[in-house]
Amino acid sequence: MPDLFRILTLQSGHNAAVVLLGVAALGAAAGLVGAFALLRKRALMGDALAHATLPGIAAAFLLASALRAAGVGIEPRSLPVLLAGAAITAVLGIFTVHAIRRAAHPRIPEDAAIGVVLSVFFGAGYVLLSIIQVQSSGSHAGLKTFILGQAAAMSAADAQILALVALLSLLACTLLYKEFRLVCFDDAFARTQGWPVAALDTLMMTLVVIVTVVGLQAVGLVLVIALLIIPPAAARFWSDRLGAVLLLATLIGAASGYFGAALSAAHAGLPTGAIVVLCAAVFFILSALFAPRHGILARALRRHALNRRIALDHALRAIDDLARSSPIPTPTLDRGSLQRALAAFGRSASIPRLVRRGVLEPEPSGSLRLTPAGQRAAAAATRQHRLWETYLVARAAIPEAHAPHPADLIEHAVDPDLLDRLERDLNLPPS
């Protein structure tokens, strides 16, 4: 644990700090670019193009080895060479998905086309890797680290490239913010206004390709898609505004990268890519649970509060009915019959609860009476219900015997001012 703390505060040596910052930069860039791709509903294209990088890496290695054997001074295992190959086949993969869609429309849907490119290109990559294995006498020349990532091998130069890419993505997304925003939310309108939607889409996918390709080394091609999807999805829980979602996606991506890389450095056996993705998943789960408006907990609390209010309203009406049902008007209510009347409404409308809310007060004789506040509340609940029943019978042609149930449903879902309008509409004297 103290190990982890030192790593997190960048005190554990130059290498560890480099890896941490590099992966964090990658996470930030992936979060930002992935947010736009997610909104444009192109998120899974990133999966196809990530898997499509494998044959490019292997082919670049083979080509460079052949060139080196022919005397050209090129290092087959150098990162720029491999990543260039990766980028080329990634773009090829995107074109293939579009080509399949166009040629086979409408018989092969888009998700199937993505699956085709993903698996066939990946398979081709494995074929090329096996050729390399034979040529390099038994080893894959370290190329397999691109599949699941190996952030620990990141050098300072690689981290600088990652930081540069993050900056580039930030710049591109800032400059093209208006354009991307419009294309994401209403591309038909953009087209009619003359904006180059196809070019903007291409630019967006180019950014995805760049982020994917530089992320190959850190988290591997299978998991890079997770960094493009999970932080933006987590950010969606917190806000509806594009700017906020972008910012949060970037921050969550960066944080996942930072903490994930730190954990992986602290425990040598843990694969970096997997840990980073699991950190992002933890952020996702936390966002899903605790986000203030759209989070699961917040929703459950709101629903619970609504159910309590509904139960209370119904209980007040039941009390009102009970009070009016006795032959002589008396404000005192017998405990037994009150309990029976309130039984249907659960614990939130039990007698002790109602006493605590100031609706009822106990009498020395054991029965209860409505407080003045309680009387007003009960009368209001009954008025509300009866108004809706009247409206449904008078205006919605619902037979009188059937009116109570729909009135029950409507009355809790509408504004109180609507009630006043209703009164005026029905020409009733105001109460």
Partner 1 sequence: MLPTLSEFLQTDLAAILTATLCAITCALLGTFLLLRRQALMGDAISHAVLPGLAAAFILSQTRDPFPMFLGAAAAGVLTAVLSDLVRRYARVEPGAAMGVVFSAMFALGVLLMSSPSMRLVDLDADCVLSGVLESITWLGDTRSGSQSPSTLASLFSPAVLAAAPRQLITAAAVALLCVFAIAALFKELRISSFDPALAHALGFKPGWLNTALMILVALACVAAFEAVGSILVVAMLVCPPAAARMLTDSLRAQLLLSALLAALAAVAGYFAAAFGPALLGWNMSVSAAGMISVFTGLILAAAILLAPRHGVLVRRLRRLALAIDIAREDLLAMLYRLHESRSANPLTITHARAALGGGPIAALALQSAQKRNHVSRSRSDLALTPQGHAIAQGLIRTHRLWELYLVEHLGHRPDHVHRTAMDLEHHTTPEIASILEASAPPTAGPAAPLDPHGKPIPRPPTA
CB atoms under 10 Å from CB of 132, counted, come to 20
CB nearer to partner 1: give 127 or 157: 127
State the minimum distance, in angstroms, from the CB of residue 256 to partner 1: 11
Is residue 104 a contact residue for partner 1 (CB under 8 A)?
Answer: yes
Is residue 103 a contact residue for partner 1 (CB under 8 A)?
Answer: yes
Of 126, 170, 418, 423, the one binding partner 1 by CB under 8 A: 126
Widest Cα–Cα separation across the chain: 112
**Residue 285, CA atoms < 13 Å, CB-side half-sphere:** 5
Residue 404 token pair: 């109570």
Residue 60 CA to residue 143 CA, distance in Å, equals: 11
Is residue 108 a contact residue for partner 1 (CB under 8 A)?
Answer: yes
Is residue 36 a contact residue for partner 1 (CB under 8 A)?
Answer: no
Q: Which helix (H) or strand (E) holds 369?
A: strand 368-370
Binding mask 137-176 for partner 1 (x = CB under 8 A): -------x--xx----------------------------
Is residue 114 a contact residue for partner 1 (CB under 8 A)?
Answer: yes
C-alpha of 208 from chain center: 19
Residues contacting 420, CB < 8 A, separation 6+: 430
Q: 190 to each of 42, 57, 163, 198, how far by Cα in Å?
A: 18, 37, 32, 11
Binding mask 299-328 for partner 1 (x = CB under 8 A): x-----------------------------
CB nearer to partner 1: give 93 or 374: 93
Residue 88 CA to residue 93 CA, distance in Å, equals: 9
Of 109, 243, 292, 362, the one binding partner 1 by CB under 8 A: 109
Please name the residue that has the structure tokens 């294995």: 133
CB nearer to partner 1: give 302 or 395: 302
**What does residue 84 show for φ and ψ, rounded to 5 degrees?**
-65, -45
Residues that bind partner 1 (CB under 8 A): 38, 41, 43-44, 47, 51, 100, 103-104, 107-109, 111-112, 114-116, 118-120, 122-127, 129-131, 134, 144, 147-148, 222-223, 225-226, 229-230, 232-233, 236-237, 269-271, 273-275, 277-278, 280-281, 284, 288, 294, 296, 299
